[in-house]
């Protein structure tokens, strides 16, 4: 068989590449000769992926619950993949930044719509039983969810809204603000008013990591990047729309879909509240109570007052 000029030229280029590194091309060609063809299942680690569902009970619907959480965590990972690239830019590029935010918005749109898998997809009776075997674990302990927030905005916007006014801009450390982070309010035991075990365990594992991330993101969070681009005098219409979309998707639409699940499975019977470890979720989860807003200056006072009310969703539709 003739070796074409095209192939020869590639071999020469390879020889150049390997000899520059003091390597012997023929050894690498041997490696190529013996290597197996790549398969789909090896490439995406399919066997490992499909082996990661280990229910704690024999209720069939528990597998749905596990897999949908895993799917969500993968979407969170995709979102972080984009947010990290935005934060890593030395000189923020408007088009690059806008496109990456639009990607995150697409991921959260998918998550918001697919939450029906939870809301309609499990038998309530099964859920209420298998959930008891999972205590005190809760999606509340999703660190990736908190990391997305840390990448998305300045840390002050994650301080509980009732304490935010006590922190003057630029005068307080992340560690000081972290003591008043909004999510603590969602992990209070109804019976005693004390911190839940769910929160204790989460803090033990993740507080340091989250504080470190926030400290390293003081300048690289999305709000700061937006302000930098604004200062450059660029036309920011598309970026602003993307940021408003992100704010709405992460802080209103996804939380509302999630809240729908909590209502569907946990509301009504006071006994059911036990299934959450007895937290005050009804007072905590609705976005209109939390009022988490990543980009306050991009909303009117009226829009902020009405945060989490249905019209916000209807009018803007997550765009």
Nearest residue (CB) to ligand HEM, 127 versus 294: 127
**Residue 139 Cβ, how far from ligand HEM at the closest point, in Å?**
2
How many Å apart are CA 318 and CA 242, to the nearest integer? 9
How many CB atoms are located within 10 Å of the residue 37 CB? 5
**Residue 303 Cβ, how far from ligand HEM at the closest point, in Å?**
20
Nearest residue (CB) to ligand HEM, 70 versus 232: 70
**Residue 57 Cβ, how far from ligand HEM at the closest point, in Å?**
15
Nearest residue (CB) to ligand HEM, 10 versus 163: 163
**Residue 22 Cβ, how far from ligand HEM at the closest point, in Å?**
49
**Paired strand residues for 21:** none
Footprint of ligand HEM on this chain (CB under 6 A)?
68-69, 72, 118, 127, 138-140, 142, 145, 183, 186, 198, 258, 261-262, 265-266, 276-277, 279, 281, 285
Ramachandran angles phi, psi of 189, nearest 5°:
-70, 125
Q: Check: CB of residue 122 under 8 Å from CB of residue 64.
A: yes
Residues 6+ apart with CB under 8 A from 299: 244, 247, 293, 307
Ramachandran angles phi, psi of 195, nearest 5°:
-55, 140
Q: How far is CA 104 from CA 61, 71, 186, 239, 319, in A?
A: 29, 15, 25, 13, 12
Residue nearest to ligand HEM (CB): 139
Nearest residue (CB) to ligand HEM, 76 versus 226: 76
**Residue 190 Cβ, how far from ligand HEM at the closest point, in Å?**
10
Instruction: Give the chain's length.
Output: 319
Nearest residue (CB) to ligand HEM, 186 versus 245: 186
**Residue 284 Cβ, how far from ligand HEM at the closest point, in Å?**
6
Nearest residue (CB) to ligand HEM, 101 versus 285: 285
How many CB atoms are located within 10 Å of the residue 248 CB? 28
Residues 6+ apart with CB under 8 A from 70: 52, 53
């Amino acid at each position: 068989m003739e070796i074409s000029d095209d192939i020869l030229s590639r071999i020469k280029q390879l020889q150049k590449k390997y000899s520059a590194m003091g390597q012997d091309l023929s050894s690498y060609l041997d490696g190529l000769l013996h290597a197996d063809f790549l398969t789909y299942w090896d490439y995406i680690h399919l066997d490992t992926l499909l082996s990661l569902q280990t229910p704690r009970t024999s209720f069939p619907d528990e597998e749905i619950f596990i897999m949908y959480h895993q799917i969500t965590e993968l979407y969170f990972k995709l979102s972080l993949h984009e947010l990290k690239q935005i934060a890593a830019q030395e000189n923020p590029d408007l088009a690059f930044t806008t496109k990456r935010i639009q990607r995150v918005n697409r991921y959260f749109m998918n998550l918001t719509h697919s939450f029906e898998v939870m809301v309609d997809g499990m038998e309530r009776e099964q859920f209420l039983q298998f959930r008891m075997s999972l205590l005190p674990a809760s999606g509340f302990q999703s660190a990736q969810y908190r990391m997305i927030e840390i990448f998305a905005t300045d840390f002050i916007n994650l301080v509980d809204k009732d304490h935010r006014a006590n922190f003057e801009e630029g005068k307080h450390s992340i560690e000081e603000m972290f003591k008043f982070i909004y999510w603590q309010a969602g992990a209070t035991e109804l019976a005693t008013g004390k911190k839940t075990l769910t929160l204790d365990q989460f803090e033990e594992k993740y507080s340091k990591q989250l504080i470190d991330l926030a400290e390293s993101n003081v300048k690289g969070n999305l709000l700061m990047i937006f302000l930098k681009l604004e200062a450059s005098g660029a036309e920011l219409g598309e970026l602003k729309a993307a940021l408003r979309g992100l704010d709405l998707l992460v802080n209103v639409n996804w939380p509302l879909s999630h809240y729908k699940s909590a209502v569907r499975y946990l509301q009504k019977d006071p006994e059911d509240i036990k299934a959450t470890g007895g937290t005050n979720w009804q007072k905590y989860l609705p976005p209109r109570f939390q009022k988490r807003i990543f980009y306050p200056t991009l909303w009117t006072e009226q829009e902020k007052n009405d945060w989490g009310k249905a019209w916000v969703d209807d009018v803007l539709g997550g765009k």
